[in-house]
Amino acid sequence: MTRVLAALTVWLATSLPALAFEPKPNELGFQPPASENMVRLEEFHNFSWTHINLMTIITAIVIFVLALLIWVAIRYNHKANPVPSKTTHNVLLEVIWTVVPVIILIVIAVPSYKLLFYLDRTANPDMTLKISGYQWGWTYSYPEHEGLEFNADIIPEAELAEYIPEGKGRRMLETYNPIVLPIEKNIQVLTTASDVIHAWTIPAFGIKKDAVPGRTNEAWVRITVPGIYYGQCSEICGISHASMPISVYAVPFEEYEAWIACVSGTGAESKADYPSRACVKSLGFDKYRNLQNASVKQEATNGASE
Ligand SMILES: [Cu+2]
């Protein structure tokens, strides 16, 4: 039994395609985590011998139920068991199949609540990012910087090469104005919406937060790895639901400050149609596209040798 589980885990791990902070074809499992939030989410989900996790529990339940079904089908089919028993009650069995699931649920609930409270909010945010969803895009504002607010709409495939270094742009995931955030800072994320319910989601950050009109929801993230991150609206919100991606450049704090100065300044970039994109370009943040692939490769080799 344990050998089968181990073999299954190895197979799952090795059948994963190359890692990156973006969706890949035929992907199994999560994108690599870029925050403590996502590390903990993954730990709670992924298989491990050392702590309670959902993969072990559901795998055990599936194998157990499958074994019961096979046993019943073989042992009690019409041929093998022509005269069926008329038994209808078994007190011990009924108590067991009620109590055992309750125990399983309690075992899951304890780490689950711990994680929920951890993900809920950060006590001491270093900065705030306000997000408002609309059909079809996102409005971002940085309340610590008066007047710094922009819309992020999707770049159609045909225009990608105009805004992103050749061949690096991701179809259906890039926005004219990307968000720029600092790494190693506690970022408070506030979401709302102006028309219908949307959901602001970045898998690598471990955030999936509904954006509800007339209400403010809170999440937080402390990004640990510089890079370019993608997400998508995750609440079916209408015909162009698939066309409101999220694209984030996570950079060291000094570079983030340079970007803030650039977008809030009076320079040519700040007057451009897409000031955030213009500043990302002039500050050379697209270098993180290459770094990202290199560091992810590094991470993947480290993981394999562990
Ligand atoms: Cu939406």
**b (16+ CB within 10 A) / e for 27-60:** eeebbbbbbebbebbbbbebeeeeeebebbeebe
Task: Give pLDDT tens digits for 115-154.
Answer: 999 999 998 899 999 999 999 999 999 999 988 999 999 9
Q: What integer is the mean pLDDT of 47-56?
A: 91
Q: How far away, in angstroms, is 151 Cα from ligand 1 center? A: 14
Q: How far away, in angstroms, is 206 Cα from ligand 1 center? A: 18
Compare 189 and 168 and report the one with higher pLDDT.
Answer: 189
- Report the SS3 class of residue 188: strand
At residue 275 the predicted structure's pLDDT band, cuts being 50, 70 and 90, is very high
Q: Which CATH superfamily does the domain covering 127-305 fall into?
A: Cupredoxins -  blue copper proteins (2.60.40.420)
Average pLDDT, the chain: 88
Q: How far away, in angstroms, is 75 Cα from ligand 1 center? A: 52
At residue 172 the predicted structure's pLDDT band, cuts being 50, 70 and 90, is very high
Residue 305 clears pLDDT 70, i.e. is over it = no
Cα dihedral 26→30→32→34 (10° resolution): 140
Q: Which positions ≥6 away from 38 have C-beta within 8 Å?
A: 30, 203, 204, 205, 206
Q: How far away, in angstroms, is 235 Cα from ligand 1 center? A: 6
Share of the chain above pLDDT 70, in %: 88
Compare 211 and 50 and report the one with higher pLDDT.
Answer: 211
Q: How far away, in angstroms, is 300 Cα from ligand 1 center? A: 33
Total-model pTM: 0.82
- Report the SS3 class of residue 256: helix
pLDDT for the residue 26: 84
- Domain limits, the chain: 2-17+26-82+89-120, 127-305
Residue ranges with CB less than 5 Å from ion ligand 1? 198, 233, 237, 244
Q: How far away, in angstroms, is 59 Cα from ligand 1 center? A: 34
Q: How far away, in angstroms, is 219 Cα from ligand 1 center? A: 17
Q: Is the dihedral of CA 269, 273, 275, 281 positive or negative?
A: negative
At residue 293 the predicted structure's pLDDT band, cuts being 50, 70 and 90, is low
